[in-house]
């Protein structure tokens, strides 16, 4: 039995024992009547709160900790993690980055797990896809792309750097401007090749706009360590040079979301 199966087994035994004590001698309605089971679960939670208050325990804290542990365990068991690069099999095989997940559908039966939709951000698409695991597949690796700030290895990193360069380009001195424009074109080509979104659409959608983030990634540990948070820290003041010798400086990790289209 899996770890998740053991957790469910323990919970089922606890609820069955509570029902037997609350309604001795009566036939069990667990797993047969969803409303009954939910009411029984609510009664158990109520009694647990009475127990906590009687013994001077902080029930709210215990409940909050339990929910946090559950969220961590659900994330551990998920087939895809935040930061994974995936292919959307029913959307022209577009590729994007998982930025979170949400449960969907009506209230499930007591013995049925809720449906989970993974939230996927695709470069150049102004909304978030919400797709079940059955319609996702691992994406090919993002093509490593050399820039003046080092080699970019992840799509969300490339998208951020492309937008930052585009914003700073008009004020950059020559010949820095030529170097940045070269990097910008390389990033655009890599994003298009990997994501399946045309360069024209990427160019239009990634144009600088007033601050209003399409999404805020919840965890970009896998993508944000290859260039500094402020591009001006590493802009060259001299002419172009051999990008093959660039080594990206380290930067602190960035910080998750959840919103579906």
108-132: per-residue pLDDT in tens? 444 445 678 999 999 999 999 999 9
Q: What pTM was computed for the model?
A: 0.55
Q: Mean of the pLDDT values across residues 257-261? A: 40
pLDDT for the residue 246: 39
Q: What secondary structure does DSSP assign to 51-96, as a single string? A: HHHHTT--HHHHHHHHHHHHHHHHHHH-SS-TT-EEEETTTTTEEE
Q: Which residue has the higher pLDDT, 57 or 75?
A: 57
pLDDT for the residue 104: 63
2-15: per-residue pLDDT in tens? 666 787 888 888 88
- For residues 88, 94, 97, 99, the Cα torsion angle rounded to the nearest 10 degrees is -60
Going by their DSSP bridges, the two strands 145-147 and 94-104 should be labelled as unpaired
CB atoms within 10 A of CB 173: 9
Distance of CA 156 to the CA centre of its chain: 11
- For residues 236, 238, 244, 250, the Cα torsion angle rounded to the nearest 10 degrees is -20
CB atoms within 10 A of CB 137: 12
Q: Band of the pLDDT at 256, cuts 50, 70, 90? A: very low
Q: 192 in helix, strand or coil?
A: helix
230-242: per-residue pLDDT in tens? 445 555 444 444 4
Q: 101 in helix, strand or coil?
A: strand
Q: Mean of the pLDDT values across residues 14-23? A: 86
Q: What secondary structure does DSSP assign to 121-133, as a single string? A: E-TT-SSEEEEEG
Both structure tokens of 227? 């260039």
Give CA–CA dist 123/189, Å, rounded: 12
């Amino acid at each position: 039995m899996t770890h998740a199966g053991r957790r469910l087994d323990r919970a089922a035994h606890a609820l069955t024992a509570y029902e037997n004590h609350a309604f001795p001698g009566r036939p069990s309605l667990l797993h047969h009547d969803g409303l009954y089971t939910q009411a029984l679960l609510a009664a158990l939670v109520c009694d647990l709160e009475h127990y906590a208050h009687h013994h001077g325990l902080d029930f709210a804290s215990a409940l909050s900790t339990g929910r946090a542990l559950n969220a961590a365990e659900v994330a551990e068991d998920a087939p895809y993690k935040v930061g994974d690069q995936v292919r959307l099999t029913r959307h022209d095989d577009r590729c994007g980055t998982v930025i979170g997940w949400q449960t969907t559908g009506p209230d499930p039966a007591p013995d049925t797990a809720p449906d989970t939709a993974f939230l996927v951000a695709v470069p150049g698409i102004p909304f978030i896809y919400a797709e079940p695991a059955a319609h996702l597949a691992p994406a090919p690796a993002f093509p490593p792309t050399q820039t003046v700030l080092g080699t970019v290895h992840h799509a969300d990193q490339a998208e951020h750097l492309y937008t930052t360069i585009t914003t700073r380009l008009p004020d950059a001195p020559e010949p820095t401007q030529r170097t940045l424009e070269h990097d910008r074109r390389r990033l655009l080509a890599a994003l298009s090749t990997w994501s399946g979104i045309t360069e024209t659409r990427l160019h239009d959608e990634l144009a600088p706009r007033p601050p209003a983030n399409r999404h805020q990634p919840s965890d970009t540990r896998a993508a944000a360590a290859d260039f500094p948070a402020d591009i001006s820290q590493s802009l060259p003041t001299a002419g172009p040079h051999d990008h093959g010798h660039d080594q990206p400086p380290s930067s602190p990790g960035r910080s998750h979301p959840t919103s579906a289209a």
